With several copies, the nearest count.
Chain A
Amino acid sequence: MKKIINKPEDFVNEMIEGIILAHPDKLKNPGDDPRILVRADAPVAGKVGIVTGGGSGHLPLFKGYVGQGLCSGVAIGNVFSSPSSQQCFEATKAVDGGAGVLYLYGNYGGDVFNFDLAADLAELEDIETMTVLGRDDVASQPKENRQERRGVAGTLFAYKAAGAAAERGDTLEEVAAAAEDIVENTATMGIGLSPTILPTTGALSFDLPDGEMEIGIGIHGEPGIHRGPLETADAITDRLVDALVADLELADGDSVAVLVNGMGATPLEELYVMYRRVHQSLTSRGVSIGKNYVGEYATSLEMAGASISLLKLNDDRLALLEAPASSPFFQEV
């Protein structure tokens, strides 16, 4: 097990401790539970709070998107498992500035049920909450079932937009609507080349013969829509872009934001080789790129692979993406 860790059961808490030691001016534990992190200035009176959460092992997702112009707090689960409803609720209380709290996170069963329970608890304390789920993985469900899709890297766009909306003083309904509008216009698809090793058991997260790739994989190694021999960067990129363009029904004259995301072990160099092809492919269709992100934004420990996300832009969405934001892991200046 090629991991730089101490006791596997201490992994998550020690990682969080490292994050707080490194960024005490930006993040804090609001109470005793290390698994809850909020902006150092939380709660911000009069502004909508945004709570996200999910399993560990996806840095910079989720904790990395807590900051100015981003989420206000996060509840952190074990590797690839949900935080508890109590933790989601504590995060809610810690960020509530009186204007309500948006729950914004990826669509995974455990997370949904725990956040829903937290919402019940919040209601008992008269904290208004709304929920928007990241649901961008087009490989996880066909378009007719898109409410059921998993949330993957494209959730970044929703964080960015909702955070910007909250920062400028939008109401809870408005912030939720901004996030939902982004989710509705975001599509992601990924490819996996090698599994991750789960720190607690040392087991591989999934099984993929050498020289094969899984197209449509999820960020925990969920199977996709095609498994076959590894293809060239261009062929892979074309597969992904074609699927995303079809899903978003992009046409000549449209503009998009592009995110080429590394799953962990894939070198940044390869992500730029892919970006090059994304650019070629979109431009040749008359689709322009209004904003781009290339790097590791939602990982799966040391999985090799990458995903591409597209967000169909309009002026509002672009403005929200371009608004300033700052966390230890993400900056927009």
Chain B
Amino acid sequence: MHSTELIEQIQRSLKEVVKHADELRDLDQALGDGDLGITITLGAGAVIEALEELPDGATPAEIARACAKAFANANPSTMAALVAGGLLAGSKTWKDLDDVDIAAAARFVKAAGDNIAQRGKTQIGDKTIVDAIMPAAEALDAGEDGASGLDAAIAAAEKAVVDTRSLRSRRGRAAWLQERSIGLQDPGATAMWRFLESWRTAGVPARF
């Protein structure tokens, strides 16, 4: 996928993912402060607009950086900062890259996940977005082509999301709830899963 397609794919996925804003708001209301729906809606809108204004000939890495910047400032929050940092980290794996294939995508997601885990001082099992992003990155990496890799990533993310329900939140606002967090589904992990689904709905995964 080259820059023009990539931009289009991102924009279409984001128009898709905002349909889950209410679900994310409700989950974050239960475990946190309820702003995740707004973060996703405003963040998606800001990214779509920022990509519109990108000069012709922007590289995939530049595209990712533009996404990061727009998402970071739309609705400042944990998710905005962590995702933006993850996108910046991912973009570094795309140096001198013109065509995003499944391997590049896997590298990107892995780097983003590592960055989030490191910045968030988070491990898998802490009931955060990291729980969903890590297995998704692995599935992408193991994928034979774009379509099957994406399918596997979505399945892995979904499983991780469901698994967060029985976990106790160890990071962020949700950790304040202590035992009361058990039984509730992590909003950040859910957002990652919904984003992967939206990527599939929005585009032609084979184009990776």
* Interface, chain A (partner B; CB < 8 A): 77-78, 80-87, 109-110, 113-114, 116-117, 120, 201, 218, 220, 222-223
> In the complex the two chains form, is A84's CB within 8 Å of B35's CB?
no
- Give the residue of B34, B78, B177 whose beta carbon is less than 8 angstroms from that of A110: B78
Chain A positions within 8 Å of B73 at CB level: 84-87
Contact of A84 among B80, B177, B178 (CB under 8 A): B80
Chain A residues with CB under 8 Å of B35's CB are 81
Interface residues, chain B, with chain A CB atoms under 8 Å away: 33-35, 69, 72-73, 76-78, 80-82, 84-85, 88, 119-120, 171-173, 176-178
The secondary structure that dominates the A interface is mixed
Question: CB-CB < 8 A to A81: which residues of B?
Answer: 33, 35, 76-77
Which B residues are in CB contact (< 8 Å) with A113? 78, 81-82, 85, 119-120
Q: With contacts A113-B82, A114-B72, A222-B176 known, what are 6 further pairs, Cβ within 8 A?
A: A83-B76, A84-B72, A84-B76, A85-B72, A110-B77, A223-B177
Chain A residues whose CB sits within 8 angstroms of the CB of B80 once the complex forms: 84, 114
Interface SS majority for chain B: helix
Asked if residues B77 and A82 are in contact (CB atoms below 8 Å), the reply is: yes
- B178 surroundings in chain A (CB, below 8 A): 223
- The complex places the Cα of A77 from the Cα of B76 at a distance, in Å, of 8
Query: In the bound complex, do residue B88 and residue A120 qualify as a contact, i.e. CB atoms below 8 Å apart?
Result: yes
Q: Is the beta-carbon distance between B76 and A110 smaller than 8 angstroms?
A: yes
Beta-carbon contact of B85 and A117 below 8 Å: yes
**Chain B residues with CB below 8 A from A78, complex form:** 76
Q: List 22 A-B contacts (CB under 8 A).
A: A80-B33, A81-B33, A81-B35, A81-B77, A82-B77, A83-B76, A84-B80, A85-B72, A85-B73, A86-B69, A86-B73, A87-B73, A87-B76, A109-B171, A110-B81, A113-B82, A114-B72, A114-B81, A117-B72, A117-B85, A120-B88, A223-B178
Cβ B78 vs Cβ A109 within 8 A: yes
Instruction: Give Cα distance in the complex from A222 to B69, angstroms.
Output: 31
Other-chain residue from A84, A117, A218 in contact with B176 (beta carbon distance below 8 A): A218
Smallest CB–CB gap between B29 and chain A, Å?
A: 9
**B119 partner residues in chain A, CB cutoff 8 A:** 113, 116
